[in-house]
Amino acid sequence: MESTAPDISGMSPQQLTEKFVHLAPHNRALGMTLEALRPRFGTLRLPYRDFLVGDPETGVLHGGVITTLIDSISGLVAVMSQPKIIGMATLDLRIDYLKPATPKRDLFADAHCYKLTPNFAFVRCMAYHDTPDDAVALGTGIFIVTHTDPVVALEGVAP
């Protein structure tokens, strides 16, 4: 099967972020940036910002922000793992919160698509500060194909 996935080999992290991460205005508002993207793997960065804090007394990030980070990179990796860019949606997402995120520190999330079928992508993700070996949260998700019209997810996005 011929792939219509875009050639991302020469794109800078800024170009990748603009093309893929910022398709969702929510991701743009949170300031997420794409650090790495290759077949079946991606890393997303969430810079610490005071307005993302869930507990003002401790400065710890809100759990919903961590959920968004994990869902965003997992969904992007699911889409980019397909032979063609197609529409996908989160079918199931489980997140285990292991410890509070450290205040004033950026958070990263690595996602890996470990199983791909014609209709589903299965993804594992770790959110962390310095190393995935010391994770803040773990995510496991299943993403489902919603339509197979190639490149529909990228309409209107500048190259």
Which is more confidently placed, 120 or 9? 120
Q: What are phi and psi of 101, to 5 degrees?
A: -65, 145
What does the H/E/C string look like for the chain? CCCCCCCCCCCCHHHHHHHCHHHCHHHHHHCCEEEEEECCEEEEEECCCHHHEEECCCCEECHHHHHHHHHHHHHHHHHHHCCCCCEEEEEEEEEEECCCCCCCCCEEEEEEEEEECCCEEEEEEEEECCCHHHEEEEEEEEEEEEECCCCHHHCCCCC
Predicted pLDDT of residue 97: 96
| Domain regions of the chain by residue span | 13-154
Residue 55 has pLDDT above 90, yes or no: no
Residue 82 has pLDDT above 90, yes or no: no
Domain 13-154 has CATH 3.10.129.10: yes
- Percentage of the chain lying above the pLDDT 90 cut: 48
pLDDT tens-digit readout, 18-54: 666 667 788 888 999 888 888 899 999 999 998 989 8
Record the pTM. Answer: 0.83
Predicted pLDDT of residue 4: 47
Predicted pLDDT of residue 157: 39
- The residue written with tokens 């958070």 in the block is 107
Predicted pLDDT of residue 2: 44
Read off the pLDDT band of 11 (50, 70, 90): low
Across the chain, what does the average pLDDT equal?
Answer: 83
Which is more confidently placed, 68 or 39? 68
Read off the pLDDT band of 70 (50, 70, 90): very high
pLDDT tens-digit readout, 122-144: 999 999 999 999 999 999 999 99
